[in-house]
Amino acid sequence: METVRTVLVHKSSVLRSQLADFLAEAGIIDVTLACDLADLREKACHCKPQLVLLDIYLLDEDFQGLIRDLRLQIPEVKVVLTGPEPEAYYTKHTAAMGADLYLSEGLQPDEWIKRLASVAAVSH
């Protein structure tokens, strides 16, 4: 997978680091970390990501509004929601929130890369 500018926001600093390391090992080396949604907004403004990985449990803001705002700033951005639940749990809600994909944190690393590659390829 070619390098994709990515902002990763997760409430857990441990998971945020682990996911960033995993993405770097997979070749998605341009990963910017954000600790919350305000930090995401600021960093997205500066780095213009192609992909945003967003922890579903950061519900201190309206996701639809956040995703809409991101797409106004960066029309080609792809938004992937992440969380511990199986994909079926959020399938209906993902599109309703304006996201492109939901990935369960329980998936195997190769499945993450495959799915992220398919989402990122749509924007190229």
Distance (Å, whole) CA 32 – CA 34: 7
Please tell me whether the overall predicted TM-score, pTM, comes out greater than 0.75 for this model: yes
pLDDT 10s digits, 5-58? 999 998 888 888 888 888 888 877 788 999 888 899 999 999 999 999 999 888
List domains and CATH numbers for the chain: 7-109 (3.40.50.2300)
Structure token pair of residue 85 = 């639940």
Q: Find the radius of gyration of the CA atoms of the chain.
A: 13
Q: At what angle do helices 37-47 and 63-73 cross, to 10 degrees?
A: 10
Structure token pair of residue 35 = 């600790």
